[in-house]
Amino acid sequence: MLENLTAQPADKILALMAAYKADPRNEKVDLGVGVYKDASGNTPVMRAVKEAERRILADQSSKAYTGLAGDPAFGKAMRDLVLGDAVPSERIAAVATPGGTGAIRQSLELIRLAAPNATVWLSNPTWPNHPSILKYLGMKMAKYTYFDNATREVDFDGMLTDLRKVAEGDVVLLHGCCHNPTGANLTYDQMSQVIGILQEKRAVPLIDIAYQGFGDGLNDDAQITRLIARSFENCLIAASCSKNFGIYRERTGILMAVAKDADQQALTQQTLAFLNRQNYSFPPDHGARVVSTILTDPALRADWEAELEETRNGMLALRQQLADELKRLTNSDRFDFIAHHRGMFSRIGATPQQVEEMRDKHGIYMVGDSRINVAGLNAETVPVLARAIVAAGV
């Protein structure tokens, strides 16, 4: 049997990580992997997470299963965090998942059950796992224009033109905030125009929100997701806790489905539980319990929000420092977009050859499409990156 296997395509980011580790140079800079790092290059455990875990370990009396949908307290806490009061709770079905990736996978499984002929539309570019999972599942997909590599901003006219080609019943995947990999986001007014087209086409939105709190703040980062959710009878929302709670290895995510009414919600909830059972049975609980403990305790939540704000403001400061340094070196404002982008990532517009040159000559490791992880920088490495960008002729 096993002799019939063929090698699968290597994950480019994981391959980049391996190359970085093998590089003997001391002055190398890792801007590839999508993990938050502090100024010392560490991915710290947040203060509130440590305290929540201490309480859980002290009080927990059982490791029994929580249920196919996960702990109900986690589902409620995440509904409140992401959606607020945008949609009545009786319209929302939800299941805990192994990370945001698990939520995306389960959303696509649900689409395949409910609308097997639907085409799933993805922004060009998007997170590589989106098309990879769709291809593996054998589902139809298409791309809509999103990023202008010349201006390094959203190509909004091109986006609207492509979305007018969406057919009734198709699914359109949208990033809730902090677009990965570009860092370029739609404004609230632009999203309102997108919603108008999708309503006219009777399409269904699928929102991937993995970086809430990393862009303009917890509440502001949720506004577009909330606008979409209250504008449609049906939409799907895949949310991750990996970044904003810093619990990457705990694999904590949630899939929420907004239904038309309570009857449709009940059927959807049953179906989501069925899908969990088929794929991994009961979802992991530790990370979810950490999240619900923090979100339901006023003191822990306040401390978590304060540390999250420190993280967000630190990334904004690095963005501004890099934009300022590039302006100083080039006497040009063509890199100001870096300060305007939000979240961990920016696509800087370098060619694959320029990316390779920066890696070979300067030890700067970034993904081949020139996506940089801003959180991989610190005050000392920003000038190193800026000099490499200028030397490569970006």
Instruction: Respond yes or no on whether the N-terminal peptide bond of residue 125 is cis (omega within 30° of 0).
Output: yes
> Which residue of the set 118, 243, 259, 386 is catalytic?
243
Distance CA 206, CA 228 (A): 9
Dihedral angle over CA of 381, 37, 321, 363, nearest 10? 30
Distance CA 212, CA 82 (A): 8
Question: 94 — alpha (psi -120 to 50), left (phi > 0) or beta?
Answer: beta
- Strand pairing report for 171-175 and 252-258: unpaired
CB atoms within 10 A of CB 393: 10
> Which residue of the set 210, 288, 323, 375 is catalytic?
210
| Torsion sign over Cα 247, 249, 250, 256 | positive
Q: Active site includes 127?
A: yes
Q: Active site includes 388?
A: no
Q: Active site includes 135?
A: no
Distance CA 56, CA 133 (A): 34
> Which residue of the set 30, 155, 162, 208 is catalytic?
208
| Single-letter code of the amino acid located at 31 | L
Q: How far apart are the first and last CA of the chain?
A: 49
> Which residue of the set 127, 238, 323, 375 is catalytic?
127
Phi and psi angles of residue 312, each rounded to the nearest 5 degrees, phi first? -60, -50
| Torsion sign over Cα 76, 79, 85, 91 | negative
Q: Active site includes 210?
A: yes
Phi and psi angles of residue 350, each rounded to the nearest 5 degrees, phi first? -80, 150
- Strand pairing report for 364-365 and 29-30: parallel
> Active-site residues: which are they?
127, 208, 210, 243
